[in-house]
Structure 1
């Protein structure tokens, strides 16, 4: 994901591709991932253990699902931040917003690197 050459090619290919990539990467993917990893998985796991333990476990699932060896530590940390923000706020909109902004920053970094 980080510094992905295919993503960079899509972002530089044309306005329709750029718009589709931005919508998918900054809105749709974060929404679906937050519903799965925080809304469902974290909440389900937390019913049988402490919230901090559930955050770590759901973050491990989040990391593995992204298939990024190079960025695995970064993804795990982001997963913990997203999980922690959900636990503290009780509102899925908080990690969703953070996730969207994070993905937007990755897009900007990829585009201009």
Structure 2
């Protein structure tokens, strides 16, 4: 069951995804133009604070203009937590160990870009961990499952809402290898949200999977 009284159009869903991407660009620009020039030691932490502040403003705007309200801890259950853990493990074995190597062989340039991203993550492991394993899952699940999937389902029905929210989630990753994997994740996370009605369950699955991937990829020996 989808929870939420808000209703959005496809155009509004796309705008929401584009706004989130713009927030990422703005945070990066502020980091490069301001924080790195002020201090190299704390620039990564200031960038994290900037991202959090911008996303808070973003969700407050959605709440005021679109009537979007989300309770992260609503409908949390033991079964939901077990499903979240199961999804995280499924994502790791299905994607990281099986499909991603296939995607990487098909799109070598995307794989090269992905390796560059990993190098940047290794350069700042603490802040990268917070961004990848906590901030991104929380923000993306509230946006894509809570706002987009919930709002679209109230207007167009669950099937179309699931497809559109999964595609938008995939497009946010802007790397063909990650985009294909994110499309699969988006579909499964959407089904998880439809089944449990719990944003927390989706956040937990997303965060656990990112954490597993983070430690097995960032600290892998190659």
TM-score of the pair, normalised by structure 2: 0.45
Partner Cα distance (2:144, 2:121) in 1: 27
- Computing the radius of gyration from Cα coordinates, the structure with the larger value is 2
Task: Report deviation, 1:73.
Answer: 2.2
Aligned to 1:5: 115
Aligned to 2:217: 110
Mapping of residues 1-113 of structure 1, within 5 Å: 4-13=114-123, 17-111=124-218, 112=220, 113=222
Partner Cα distance (1:72, 1:19) in 2: 25
Q: Does the aligned pair in 2 maintain the 1:7–1:110 contact within 8 Å? A: no
| Equivalent pairs, count | 109
Structure 1: gaps spanning 5 or more residues? none
Q: 1:61 to 1:109 in 2, by over 3 A?
A: same
TM-score of the pair, normalised by structure 1: 0.85
Task: Report deviation, 1:64.
Answer: 1.0
Q: Does the aligned pair in 2 maintain the 1:38–1:92 contact within 8 Å? A: yes
Deviations 1:9-62 (A, max 9, x none): 24443xxx2111111100001111111101101111001222132111100011
Runs of 4+ in 1 over 6 A off after TM superposition: none
Partner Cα distance (1:102, 1:57) in 2: 22
The two structures, once aligned, show a CA RMSD in angstroms of 1.8
Structure 2: gaps spanning 5 or more residues? 1-99, 101-110
Q: Does the aligned pair in 2 maintain the 1:26–1:104 contact within 8 Å? A: yes
Partner Cα distance (2:183, 2:209) in 1: 13
